[in-house]
Amino acid sequence: MANGPLSQYPIMSRTFLTAEWRDLILANYAVEPSLLEPHLPKGLELDLFKGQAVCSLVGFRFLRTRVMGVRWPGYVNFPEINLRFYVREKRADRRGVVFIRELVRSRTVAGIARRLYNEPYVKAKISEQVSENETERGVGYRFSYNGGDGGMHVTSDAEAYLPAAESTEHWFKEHQWGYGQTRRGTTLRYEVRHPVWGCHRVRTSKITVDWGRIYGKKWAHMRHAEPLGVVLASGSEIEVRTAEQLSN
């Protein structure tokens, strides 16, 4: 994502959503490209990490959410779990993410996201837990969907630090663009703006996922997969801009 205060950006598109994204756990996995390629919108290619196709399971908290400037009671603070992978535009120097599935507790939130952006949101059971003392921070998410259960939990240093631009943490957490596609197959691009995120040094992590039930049979073999690494990002205020169609 871009670095600097949100106010520095020129007005090029409308603000669709503002919120805070906090306590982001990113569990990052190497996968076969064939697992991701069916989800690639037109005009994009896989963005490889050290020569490998990768995806991330991400759990985080949506806080102080406003859609088109409106705060909807009951839909302001909630957790989300998403599975995403990394792409770049073939014709431009832009890197971003594509989502395979996004889990939220609200059927209404899932429905709005599907209608407006055709994003793969579904309703699921999700719980969250955050604790902190002077030296340690703990963040956990549990989720259930389609008869499958998952959990993400990390303990970390309480104090955050800013990873170097060439670090693994920076590569996975900083992406300015999101991509999807309309029901007719046209590629959509939208911008997500926020300052560069700090991270907490992870001490312990535990990730458990019923991949086959939650994400489909093609993902079932991931039940034995170990993450390349787990990142805990502090998060910040964010702004999601309205989407534009790409000429494919």
pLDDT higher than 80, residue 12: no
In angstroms, the CA 135 to CA 156 distance is 8
Span 48-54, mean pLDDT? 97
Nearest Cα neighbor of 148 from 57, 61, 63 is: 57
CA 108 to chain centre: 19
Question: Quick one: pLDDT at residue 205?
Answer: 98
Q: Are 110 and 119 in contact (CB under 8 A)?
A: no
Query: In angstroms, rounded to a whole number, what is the distance separating the alpha carbons of residues 46 and 89?
Result: 9
* C-beta neighbour count of 16 within 10 angstroms: 18
> d(Cα 7, Cα 5) in Å, to the nearest integer?
5
- Phi, psi dihedral angles at 104 (to 5 degrees): -135, 160
What would the two tokens of residue 67 be?
């859609």
230 within 8 A of 153, measured Cβ to Cβ: no
Retrieve residue 75's tokens: 């839909």
Q: For 103, how many CA atoms within 13 A lie in the half-sphere containing its CB?
A: 24
In this prediction the pTM is 0.91
> Which H or E element spans position 214?
helix 211-215
d(CA 241, CA 14): 6
More confident residue, 8 or 120: 120
Per-residue model confidence as pLDDT tens digits over 216-228: 999 999 998 999 9
Q: Which residue has the higher pLDDT, 117 or 246?
A: 246
- Rounded mean pLDDT of the chain? 90
Q: Does residue 247 carry a pLDDT above 70?
A: yes
User: CA-CA distance, 45 to 36, in Å (whole number)?
Assistant: 10
User: At residue 174, does pLDDT exceed 90?
Assistant: yes
CATH architecture classification, 11-243? Beta Barrel (2.40)
